[in-house]
Amino acid sequence: MKKMGLFLLLAVLLLAGFRAVSESVAFPAISQPAASPSRSKSEDSFLILVNRDNPLPEDYAPQLTWLNNGLNRVRADIYEDLSAMLTAGTEEGLRFVVASAYRDREYQQGLLEEDMAILASAGYSRDEAYREATRTTMPPGCSEHETGLALDIVSLDNQRLEEAQEETPENIWLRENCWKYGFILRYPRGKEEITGIDYEPWHFRYVGRAAAEEITRLGLTLEEYLAR
């Protein structure tokens, strides 16, 4: 059963990897920065904690803007810093792809149901499939992607959502520099029991420049930072 569970988990992860490709094929993250709207929200709103224990209200509706790839949206007031970060990396010869950014509840529900269907087809009960699937795909209302503050950023040369992302020049650069632009690596290795999410080297979250600098300097997760 353990071998079967591992196989199915790998199948779910592979499906997630293919999603990255399907959502971003041949579209670099941001080519030329577009005119960016001025910020209208307080820094505190960048620190919203979203997880199983802290779901978003059903009427949560962030103000969004499109990225230049025409496929993804982010919260309008983080566009300027996101553009600056990806432009800086691009100028160093790196090639980024935004695999996923804002998702609404319906889309998030669809992703979860896809993963659960894989598990159910192998004999898992609905409850078992739900528990296993939510190790990698959050239930609707509990995903940071619904805030418009989170992005899955990958290398053009490897668009799979897999741990091997950490070996790409793009990911190495992001992990070393993202804090300068207000972003953190949201689900770091070794903090799984705190975040409740497996290590995701591709998942970056905007928290504002001051918070990102402190979180990175102290080696904290967002949960640990907010609990101080």
Distances (CA, A) of 42 to 39, 77, 78: 8, 10, 12
132 among known catalytic residues = no
Burial class (CB in 10 A: 0-12, 13-18, 19+), 16: buried
**Cβ count within 10 A of residue 46:** 22
Q: How many residues does the chain have?
A: 228
Per-state percent for the chain, helix, strand, coil, to nearest 5: 50, 15, 40
> Out of 23, 114, 200, 223, which one is annotated catalytic?
200
Provide the CB-side half-sphere exposure for 152 (13 A, CA): 25
Active site residues: 200
